Amino acid sequence: MIIPLLKGLATTLKACFSKPITLQYPEVKRPVAPRFRGHPELVINDDGDRRCVACTLCMVVCPSNAIRGIEAAEGENHEKYPVAFTIDLTRCIFCGFCQEACPKAAIKLNNLYELAQYDKSRLILDIDKATQEKSQLRMADWL
Amino acid sequence: MVNLTIDGRAIQAKKGCTILDAAREHGIYIPTLCYHQALKPIGACRICVVEVKPGPPRPLPACATYVAEGQEVVTSSPKLDAIRLELMKLVLINHALDCPICDKGGECELQDLTHALGVSVVDLEAVKLPPHKDYVSELIERHPDRCVTCGRCVRICRDRVGALAINFTLRGYFTELASGGLPLDCEFCGSCIDICPVGALINKVFKYRARAWEVTRTEMVCPFCGGGCSYELWTKNDRPLRVVNYDTALLCGRGRFGFPVVESPDRLKTPLIRENGGFREASWDEALDQVAAKFKEITEAAGSAAIYGVGSPRATNEANYLFQKFFRTGLGTHQLDNPGRYTYVQALKGLAAVFGFPQVSGVEKVAKPPLPFHSPLTTTEEAKASGFPLVLGKLKDLPKADVALVVGADVTPELPPLGWALNTALERDTFHLVVANNRKTKFDRRAHLSLRYKPGSERLLIAGIIKSLLTAQPEWAPTVIAGGFDEFKENINKVNLKDVAKKTGVPEALIKETAARLAQAQAPAIIFGSELMGQDKGLENTLALADLFLLVGRPGAPGSALYPVAEKNNTRGVCEVGVMPEFLPGFVPLEGAEPGPTLPEMLDLLEKGDPKAPQALYLLGGDLLRQLPNRSRVEKLLKKVPFMVVQDAFLTDTAKLAQVILPVAVHAEQEGTFISTDGSLGLLPRALPVNGVRPDWQIISQIGSKMGFAMSYASPKQIFAELALGMPRWAGMAPKNGGAAFTAEVTGQFVPFETDISLPGRRPFTLLVGKSLQHSGSFTTHEPCGTLTITNRARLGLNPADAQNLGLAEGDFAKVTSSQGEISVPVTLTPELPEGLVFLPEHFSQPAAQRLTLNSNLVRVTIQKG
Ligand code: SF4
Ligand code: SF4
Ligand code: SF4
Ligand code: SF4
Ligand code: SF4
Ligand code: FES
């Protein structure tokens, strides 16, 4: 009768002195694997320019119509670049097709995964919000 | 028919067609690259190779090999696949692979081939060639690093357009497309862009604005001239982005690059009502109410004949039909005309005098309700027709003619498709081209005979040709059954050939040779343009040509016809649907009622202050001040009209004189039909939103309804059905088609014409007011029309020797004075013009060419520096 009780207590005590498994989310974020597929974002080069050439292939391949409104413009040296680009995170299914389709490696899925917002419109990213800040993927530890 | 097998399939093919044609017709795929259906095959790329038995022991290009009885063709085998793969690798060896930023991506034939042939790697290497990209030329951008040297652009430019502006330089691997230096100097028709299988030639108006798969495509007729080309309009987010012709790739510059004018900031957006000397914006209801009330007031006070209408060669058939109905049925008057009166109508009247009015019999209603914009009438077996429309030629038949006489037309600016047809005809050695003009035009280069006459002497020259024909062959009988020949002959006998040679400046020998050519012709075509029709004696000029046609024309032979140029998109349509006082729809002469004054007569009435002069004018668009000769007079007279309503898309100088301006829809903002110069029906579907303006037909119907006329219609389709029901000659008419063929009975009556060619005044120069290649009326002169980058303003064309005598250099301003007025305009040295002749395009408002003219497109002027 007592044995099961002790067994239980032992387990509890073991857990008391070992590293907790529960993460104190949102204070603590769960690290993800490097190849995790999070939010799609537009990649920039070291000089701060977007790599995207507004070819719209990501928009074509996206199965859930999460990418839309890509508008192109012509630069001084006749290069093509986007002036408008919308990524709708409320539609994105994080499949990574866009990343695969992009001929310029200009769109990548980063490690961000949070999608809870009071205001849904914050999840609809315009070209600036969709663009990464540094020429590195945004990692969870930046949060 | 020829029997052959392709990949073991027994197939029947037409004699004289290629293996590729036969295969495509039967749905068998043979990859191609340099082939295009609109061009003659040259067999350059060899991607289309097939094995043919019996035949040489090597593969043959399917696009350039003709079918033969008992042939066995194999389109795919390991050997052929290997050849194609190797060829593709060679094509791709130095290819830019710019697909993400290349506008051709998505509809690129090279992409498609790469997929179809499964090219995955290019394991060949070669020196990289320097990419000589051309970003500096207007409208067209060139990327030689994407070129596959198929030669399609070179061929269309040379064989169809006739501009010879681009060709290859260097050889082999180094072959490159070149144009003899930068920037490109050509006609800027852009046909090379549409025919290029890859993205080596880029349309700058469209560049980077959308990807090929994102756009909505609507097929429609071009609204920039009477050529009636049809093209696909690409739209995205309700904005027009590009026009493309996939069929023949041929369009002219204004057709291809003119459409942005639809988005011009100059467009009127709301109705305007004159108030305190200015205009104020008004709502549609207010403006329409005011027009209807004012019209009613005027008809009550001065009778319904006090309102005069001017139709528009820009507006659709439906709008123009409704417009004439407004007058004829609504008001019960025949007080209307169209501005073609000064050009095309003169020609029609001349032709009608010689060949008679159209008579049609043997037409019945179709059993089933017709499709939209299809005629509800059809021909029976005994269908017959006669009258002048039967001698009006079709552009697609023109290449079948064996002699073409071009008089008074600079063909390409007036009607580019005529030029394409002539170029096609010129591919045949048996075709002879005779070009008569007062200056050197594009087709002089290719003409077998070039006649250079003095300005305004066309009819005397024709008289000379007729005379020399009848002198050389006194027994000559007219080839068309015609009355009045003896009398006509007597008249012509009075013409002295030496005198003709002296007055026209054309050597006698050339006149005789032309006559001899025409006499030998089995299918002569006579082409004439608004240069000749727009003279005050335009009617006499046409009579001369019509008489000549009675003499030598063979209306039974395909291609043998008269080809007057109907300048604007619906110049012919506005006449056909009866916007002329003397003709009801279908050129039925008005009987039992008094026709109203013609447009010039109406202006005369205004000048005289005649009680019959109109109290109100209703203009269906068109800048009369810019189009009609003697601008100052027209301006003065229009100002006399107490109430003027103008329907226009722009605030033109004429509109500025109006009391009410109603903004209209243009181009693809409206639905409707046009009749092209050769009588075929062009369909304009709606592809763009109207943004507050209204289509012409709707406005007319609303004003009519407010005035109590039974004129409410749901759509242009309904109007077309009503219109076409009353047009027996349109039986069988459907979009892109000119109606059923009738058994023709062409007969005529020789009508003597005047041979006096004096041009009043003594000033040293003769000014010709004519057309520029890049513009169509005033429509294309608003930003952001693409062709404005090529021709952005009026320049006075002047022979270099004249310029030197006057001390003028290119770009200097010249003061041009006629008896009517004076303008200042920069000059451009034009060696094509003979000394003493100067040329000014008619399209621009500043300076207004028509300030100088009196009653013709020719006027004597003095030119000074300054
Ligand atoms: S990850 Fe998938 S769903 Fe999300 S934007 Fe990219 S393609 Fe679309
Ligand atoms: S696929 Fe890449 S280059 Fe193309 S639009 Fe998308 S992000 Fe830009
Ligand atoms: S021409 Fe075709 S293959 Fe070449 S870059 Fe353009 S789209 Fe790609
Ligand atoms: S530019 Fe285009 S059409 Fe001309 S040769 Fe090159 S690939 Fe052919
Ligand atoms: S030829 Fe006339 S109809 Fe054809 S594209 Fe040019 S303007 Fe339009
Ligand atoms: S398509 Fe036949 S040779 Fe090029």
Ligand 4 atom closest to the CA of B151, numbered from 1:
5
Q: How many angstroms separate the CA atoms of B806 and B232, rounded?
A: 48
Give residue-wise pLDDT tens across range B291-336: 999 999 999 999 999 999 999 999 999 999 999 999 999 999 999 9
How high is the pLDDT of residue B554?
93
Tokens matching residue B169: 């330089």
Looking at the DSSP bridge assignments, the partners of residue B616 are: B307, B643
Contact between chains at B100 and A79 (C-beta distance less than 8 A): no
Are B249 and B323 part of one and the same domain?
Answer: no
Q: Cis omega before residue B240 (within 30°)?
A: no
SS3 per residue for B550-607: HHHCCCCCCCCCEEECCCCCCHHHHHHCCCECCEECCCEECCCCCCCCCHHHHHHHHH
Residue B866 or B93, more confident: B93
Residue type, A96: G
**Inside any domain, residue B724:** yes
Q: Is the pLDDT of residue B467 over 80?
A: yes
B102 located within any domain: no
> Is B198:B98 a contact under the CB 8 Å cutoff?
no
Collect all residues of chain A within an 8 Å Cβ-Cβ radius of residue B100.
Answer: 53, 55, 57, 80, 103-104
Tokens of A97: 């097709």
What six digits make up the tokens of B49?
Answer: 């190779």
* Averaged pLDDT, B740-748: 85
Q: What is the pLDDT of residue A34?
A: 80
For chain A positions 2-61, those within 8 Å of chain B (CB to CB) are: 53-57, 60
CA distances from B410 to B587, B663, B856 (A): 28, 33, 17
Neighbours of B167 (CB within 10 A): 14
Size of the A and B interface in Cβ pairs below 8 Å: 27
Is there an atom of ligand 4 within 6 Å of B140 CB?
no
Q: Which of B235, B255, B414, B420 is nearest to B787 (CA)?
A: B255
Q: Are residues B313 and B425 in the same domain?
A: no
Measured CA to CA, the distance from residue B643 to residue B861 in angstroms comes to 35
* The pair of three-digit structure tokens given for residue B402, joined into one six-digit string: 């064996």
Q: Identity (one letter) of the amino acid at B846? A: Q
| Residue labelled with tokens 């292939």 | A57
- Per-residue pLDDT, averaged over B721-726, amounts to 94
The CA distance from A98 to B397, in Å, is 53
The closest of B283, B261, B264, B281 to B273, measured between CA atoms, is: B281
3-state secondary structure of A121: helix
Q: Assign residue B50 the CATH number of its domain.
A: 3.10.20.740
Mean of the per-residue pLDDT values of chain B:
93
Confidence band for A15, pLDDT divided at 50, 70 and 90: confident
Residue A85's identity, in one-letter code, is: F
d(CA B408, CA B862) in angstroms, rounded, equals 23
Eight-class DSSP state of B813 = E
Q: Assess contact for B861 and B823: CB atoms under 8 A.
A: no
Among B161, B191, B193, B229, residue to substitute to test ligand 5 (most atoms within 8 Å of Cβ) = B229
Please give the model's pTM, rounded to 2 decimal places: 0.93
B239-244 and B230-236 strand pairing? antiparallel
Least CB–CB distance from B208: residue in A57, A72, A103: A72
> By the 8 A CB rule, do B235 and B214 touch?
no
B155 min Cα distance to partner chain A (Å): 29
Which amino acid, residue B2?
V
Q: Give the residue-averaged pLDDT of B630-636.
A: 94
- Contact status of B237 with chain A (Cβ, < 8 Å): no
Same-domain check for residues B298 and B157: no
> Where does the pLDDT of residue A142 fall: very low under 50, low under 70, confident under 90, or very high at 90 and above?
very low
Ligand 5 atom with least separation from CA of B569 = 3
Cα(B850)–Cα(B627) distance, rounded to whole angstroms? 7
The pLDDT of residue A143 is above 50:
no
Please name the residues in contact with B468: beta carbons below 8 A apart, sequence gap of 6 or more: B497, B508, B511, B512, B515
Residue B202 has pLDDT above 80, yes or no: yes
B576 shares a domain with B611: yes
Residue ranges making up the domain that contains B453: 396-550
Q: What is the pLDDT of residues B101-133, one digit of tens each?
A: 999 999 999 999 999 999 999 998 888 888 889
- For residue A140, what pLDDT is reported? 53
Whether B578 and B538 share a structural domain:
no
What is the distance in angstroms between the Cα of B199 and the nearest Cα belonging to chain A?
14
Among B183, B196, B198, B131, which Cα is nearest to B157's? Answer: B196
How many distinct structural domains can be found in chain B?
5
Does residue B721 share a domain with residue B581? Answer: yes
Query: In this predicted structure, what is the pLDDT of residue B852?
Result: 94
pLDDT band of residue A139 (cuts 50, 70, 90) is low
Asked if A57 lies within 8 A of B100 by C-beta distance, the reply is yes
Residue type, B37: Q
Residues B427 and B504 in one domain: yes
Return d(Cα B643, Cα B645) in angstroms, integer: 7
- Among the candidates B38, B69, B92, a domain finishes at B92
The complex's ipTM works out to: 0.86
Name residue B747's amino acid. T
Mutation pick for ligand 4 pocket among B196, B202, B203 (CB with most ligand atoms within 8 Å): B196
CATH code of the domain covering residue B503: 3.40.228.10
Q: Cβ of B217 under 8 Å from any chain A Cβ?
A: no
Q: Which of B104, B136, B202, B211 to mutate to test the interface with A (most CBs of A within 10 A)?
A: B211
Contact call for residues B406 and B518 (beta carbons, < 8 A): no
| Whether residue B248 is found in the same domain as residue B276 | no
Give residue B53's pLDDT: 87
Residue A141 has pLDDT above 70, yes or no: no
Residues B443 and B532 in one domain: yes
Q: Which residues in chain A are contacts of B99 at CB distance < 8 A? A: 55, 103
CB A139 within 8 A of CB A133: no
What pLDDT, in 10s, does the model give residues B38-92?
A: 999 999 999 999 999 888 899 999 999 999 999 999 999 999 999 999 999 999 9
Give, as one character, the DSSP assignment of residue B329: I
B278 plus B258 within the same structural domain = no
Q: How far apart are CA B489 and CA B476, in angstroms?
A: 11
pLDDT tens, B360-384? 989 999 988 899 999 999 998 888 8
Residues B277, B259 share a domain: no
Q: Average pLDDT of B233-244?
A: 96
B582 lines ligand 3 (CB under 6 A): no
B203 closest CA partner among B163, B157, B143: B143
- Check residue B94 and give its pLDDT: 86
Output phi, psi for B250, to 5 deg.
Answer: -85, 125
**pLDDT bucket at A16, cuts 50 / 70 / 90:** confident
Residue B309, token pair as written in the block: 């209408």
Burial bucket for residue B742 (CB in 10 Å: 0-12, 13-18, 19+): buried
Residue B723: inside a domain: yes
User: Does one domain contain both B544 and B685?
Assistant: no
Q: Smallest Cβ distance to A55: which of B100, B133, B207?
A: B100
Q: How many CA atoms lie within 13 A of A2 on its CB side?
A: 0
Nearest 5°: CA angle at B201, between B200 and B207?
A: 110
Instruction: Single out the residue of B434, B357, B349 nearest to residue B753, CA to CA.
Output: B349
The fold for domain A23-125 equals Alpha-Beta Plaits (3.30.70)
Pairwise CB contact (< 8 Å): A56 & B207: no
CATH code, B177: 3.30.70.20
Contact B298, B616 (CB under 8 A): yes
Q: How far is CA B498 from the centre of its chain?
A: 37
| B118 inside domain | no
**Which ligand is nearest to the Cα of residue B96, counting in written order?**
3
Neighbouring residues of B346: CB distance < 8 A, sequence distance ≥ 6: B533, B534, B538, B539, B541, B542
